[in-house]
Amino acid sequence: MSSIDEAASICRHDVGQDALYPARALSLILQLQGAEGPPQLLDTLVSATEAIGAAASLYSVAIPDTEGKPFSFSLFACDPAFAHRQQQRGALPDHPWFRFARTHSSPGTDRTVQVEGPADQEALALAQQYGFTSCLIVPTAAGPDLHRVEMLCLGSRRHAAFEGEDARIVRALARSLAAELHDWVTRHLSASLQEAAQLQQIDITLLHLEWQGLGTKAISARTGLSPSAVDTRFQRLNYRLECPNRKASARRAAEHGLLESRD
Amino acid sequence: MSKRSPFAILRTTRPTAHPRDQSHRCQVRLVKVRSGVAAGRTTRHPTHTEWWTLFRSREQFETCAADDALRFRDPLLFTQIKAQLDDVFDR
């Protein structure tokens, strides 16, 4: 049996696909970048999830409270009842999958997720009802010095569906899917923040310099603005970004990916 | 990313919570996509959350509505959203 055949067996079991599924899945993964908004991204994620052979998936980004307002963005490519019931249970960043993503850089399965109490057990039991009997969690690195946590979780109705050599193609596709979602979501968050806070290019430059640790005088020298103009601009920026100080504003911009293109 | 979407935005609604109770305020957006209706919820208090699900049938929505006391207990909102979904799935 070829490696593709071996890996395809996992998918045939779930959704009856053939050995050509990796090409179809990859084609759908590549279509993610063309999504014009979260609804279309979710629609394509649902198709890609099915093409990979998974029963369900969830992609989520969380930016914790670091002097600014906590933020999370999630796509539930699964039965919507799971999304609603999970939201009723509490914040997704408290989920054991997310804890795994916060503490790991490599993918892991449900067998590697630590269960720390009854709340974790309830969360995982709920997920099992909606196609996450076994799961593969793919953490996505947000970048150095950032607190943002991202993860893709693929689910299967079979036990141990993502374990062993047989599932290596599925794991590779899942990593690819997570990376494409990361790129899209980073662009989306960055554009959303820029629009919501009405940031101009000079504002982004100031935030970038602040993120590098420069003080008012150094920023003034770099930008040609007077020191008082720098301070005034930061005061306005803090207000628009709903942050208490310029350090928090710069962190918020960085966590949303707004400063990435300038690194 | 283009600001113009070829996909119809079916409804954007702001449920009426008590003016001083911002904890339950959320915006619900319904957008027709290839495989159903994507429903997005955005809340801003106490945390900023945005999450999207995909309803592929009317039955899926009714199951969620029956289970989701927090949001769909508002009968006006429920009726509005159900009417929009009926319109899409019956089209």
> Is there a domain that residue B1 lies in?
no
Predicted confidence band of residue A236 (pLDDT cuts 50, 70, 90)? very high
Burial of A58 (0-12, 13-18, 19+ CB in 10 A): buried
Instruction: Tell whether B60 lies on the interface with A, counting CB pairs under 8 A.
Output: yes
Q: Do A38 and B33 touch (CB under 8 A)?
A: no
Q: Is there a contact between B33 and A43 if contact means CB atoms under 8 Å apart?
A: yes
Residues of chain A found within 8 Å of residue B36, distances taken between Cβ atoms: 43
Nearest to B5 among A36, A47, A188 (CB): A36
Average pLDDT, stretch A133-142?
92
Q: Distances from the Cα of A222 to the Cαs of A54, A174, A206, A211, in angstroms? A: 51, 43, 10, 14
CA distance B77 to B69: 12
Tell whether B58 is covered by a domain: yes
Contact B61 A39 (CB under 8 A): no
Query: What percentage of chain A has pLDDT greater than the value 90?
Result: 74
Assess if residue B3 is contained within a domain: no
Does A183 have pLDDT greater than 90?
yes
**What's the domain range around B59?**
9-90
Three-state secondary structure call for residue B11: strand
Whether residue A173 is found in the same domain as residue A245 = no
Do A57 and A169 share a domain, yes or no? yes
What are the Cα distances from residue A143, in Å, to A150, A151, A242? 11, 14, 23
Please tell me the predicted confidence (pLDDT) of residue A6: 42
Do residue A42 and residue A107 come from a single domain?
yes
A39 and B1: CB-CB below 8 Å? no
Are A63 and A86 in a shared domain?
yes
Contact between A156 and A134 (Cβ < 8 Å): yes
Which of A136, A155, A188 terminates a domain? The answer is A188
Looking at the structure of chain B, the number of domains it has is: 1
For chain A, what is the mean pLDDT? 88
Residue B76 has a pLDDT of: 61
The vertex-A120 CA angle with A119 and A125, nearest 5°, equals 100
- Mean pLDDT over each residue of chain B, to the nearest integer: 67
* Longest CA span, chain B: 40
- Are residues A72 and A51 located together in one domain of the fold? yes
Both A178 and A104 in a single domain?
Answer: yes
**Considering the entire predicted model, what is its pTM?**
0.84
Last residue of a domain, one of A122, A153, A188: A188
Same domain, A148 and A215: no
State yes or no: pLDDT of B56 exceeds 80: yes
Q: Given an 8 Å threshold on Cβ–Cβ distance, is A36 in contact with B60?
A: no
Q: Same structural domain for residues A23 and A149? A: yes
Give residue A106's pLDDT: 92
Q: Give long-range contacts, CB 8 A cutoff, 24+ apart: A201-206.
A: A202/A233, A203/A233, A203/A237, A204/A253, A204/A258, A204/A259, A204/A262, A205/A262, A206/A230, A206/A233, A206/A234, A206/A237
* Torsion, Cα of A242, A246, A249, A254 (10° steps): 180
Residues of chain A in contact with residue B68, where contact means CB-CB under 8 angstroms, are 84, 88
Cβ of residue A229 closer than 8 Å to a chain B Cβ:
no
Question: Using a CB-CB distance cutoff of 8 angstroms, which residues of chain A are in contact with residue B33?
Answer: 39-40, 42-43
CA distance A202 to A223: 8
pLDDT higher at A12 or B55: B55
Q: Give me the numbers of helices (H) and strands (E) for chain A, helices first please.
A: 11, 5
Cβ separation of B7 and A191 shorter than 8 Å?
no
Residues in a beta bridge with B74: none
B61 contact A CB<8A: yes
Closest CB to A79: pick one of B29, B38, B60: B60
Same domain for A15 and A129, yes or no, is yes
Judged by CB atoms closer than 8 Å, whether chains meet at B38 and A77 is answered as no
Where do runs of H (alpha helix) occur along A34-167? 38-52, 80-89, 96-103, 118-129
- Average pLDDT of the residues in A49-53: 93
> What is the Cα–Cα distance from A153 to A59, expressed in whole angstroms?
6
Q: For residue A118, what pLDDT band results from cuts at 50, 70 and 90?
A: very high
Amino acid (one-letter) located at A232: T
Please list every residue in chain B whose beta carbon sits closer than 8 Å to the beta carbon of residue A88. 68, 70
* CA nearest neighbour of A23 among A4, A2, A45: A4
Alpha carbon distance A176, A184 (integer Å)? 13
Closest partner CB to B55 (pick from A71, A80, A187)? A80
The CATH number of residue A8's host domain is 3.30.450.80
Confidence of residue A18 (pLDDT cuts 50, 70, 90): low
Name which residue leads in pLDDT, A255 or B12. Answer: A255
Task: Answer whether residue B40 is part of any domain.
Answer: yes
Element (H, E) at A59: strand A56-63
CB within 8 Å: B38 and A39: yes
pLDDT by residue (tens digit) across A149-178?
Answer: 999 999 999 999 999 887 889 999 999 999
What average pLDDT does this structure show over A197-207?
95
In this predicted structure, which of A64-73, A203-212, B45-54 has the lowest mean pLDDT?
A: A64-73
Range of the domain at A231: 197-262
- Band of pLDDT at residue B16, cut at 50, 70 and 90: very low
Neighbours of B48 (CB within 10 A): 16
Q: Do A132 and A249 belong to one domain? A: no
| pLDDT value for B43 | 79
The torsion of the CA quartet A13, A18, A21, A23, rounded to 10 degrees, works out to 170
Instruction: Decide if B7 and A37 are in contact by the 8 Å CB cutoff.
Output: yes
| Coil, strand or helix at B91 | coil
Whether A175 and A203 map to the same domain: the answer is no
Going by pLDDT thresholds of 50, 70 and 90, the confidence category of residue B22 is very low
Residue A250 pLDDT:
94
Q: What string of DSSP letters covers A149-196?
A: EEEEEEEESSTTTT-SGGGHHHHHHHHHHHHHHHHHHHHHHHHHHHHH
Amino acid making up residue A102: R
Give the ipTM of the model, two decimals please: 0.85
> Is some CB atom of chain B closer than 8 A to the CB atom of A81?
yes
Please measure the distance between the N-terminal and C-terminal CA atoms of chain A and give it in whole angstroms: 46
Overall domain count for chain A: 2
pLDDT band at B69 (very low <50, low <70, confident <90, very high): low
**Residue count of chain B:** 91
Burial A16-49 (b: 16+ CB within 10 A, else e): ebebebbebbbebbebbeebebbbbbbbbbbbbb
- Could A40 and B7 be called an inter-chain contact, meaning their C-beta atoms sit closer than 8 Å? yes
Q: Note whether A23 and A91 are same-domain residues.
A: yes
